[in-house]
Homo-oligomer: A and B are copies of this chain.
């Protein structure tokens, strides 16, 4: 491998490799040694290209949201009704969380679950992102209530928290080995309590 001149490793491929390791083991369960082995670079290259472990992790989370977890942002961007959005979020989780060609579940939910006090900021960052998603969903549901799409007595916060809880539970079940078929069944059951049923295509 070259020892000078333009960077010779594929930064994007290295970042994807780091994503898989953090996704499986979490921030606290992943060492620099594991990362450099997976990324096929040495520590000084990791630090030169990414900053430090925490900066790399932040970039990994951004990348995850732009790739593997993109179905959520797409659902928010493309669905115009709360019912369509929620259906797509839940069934998207069912479809993606146990695909088998990457670690199961969701990185944003799982990767900072256990941290020491010295790494608390990592956990807080991911909690903030999850809560921002729930708040966005709550806003969409509140809009649907205001527009008459959902019943006036529906509770936006409760519904948003329920949907997020179901998705987070599906992530955990996927990590516990549950397959896509069962996750889809869970998704369908979860949607049975939705105030209005989506029109079948």
Contacts and interface: CB of A to CB of B under 8 A. Distances in A.
Interface of A: 25-31, 34, 109-117, 119, 127, 130-131, 134, 155, 157-159, 161-162, 164-170, 172-173, 175-178, 182-183, 185-186, 189-190, 192-193
Given A116-B31, A127-B177, A157 B182 contact: yes
Given A165-B169, A165-B172, A115 B26 contact: yes
Count copies of this chain in the complex.
Answer: 2
A38 to B, nearest CB: 12
A42 B176 CA distance: 36
A175 B178 CA distance: 23
A31 to B, nearest CB: 7
Contacts of A166: 165-166, 169, 190
Contacts of A177: 127, 131
Contacts of A175: 113, 127
A69 B147 CA distance: 42
B25 A116 contact: yes
16 contacts: A25-B115, A28-B114, A34-B116, A127-B175, A127-B177, A131-B176, A155-B185, A157-B182, A161-B173, A162-B185, A165-B166, A165-B169, A165-B170, A165-B172, A190-B190, A192-B193
Given A28-B29, A193-B192, A182 B158 contact: yes
Contact of A172 (B158, B168, B192): B168
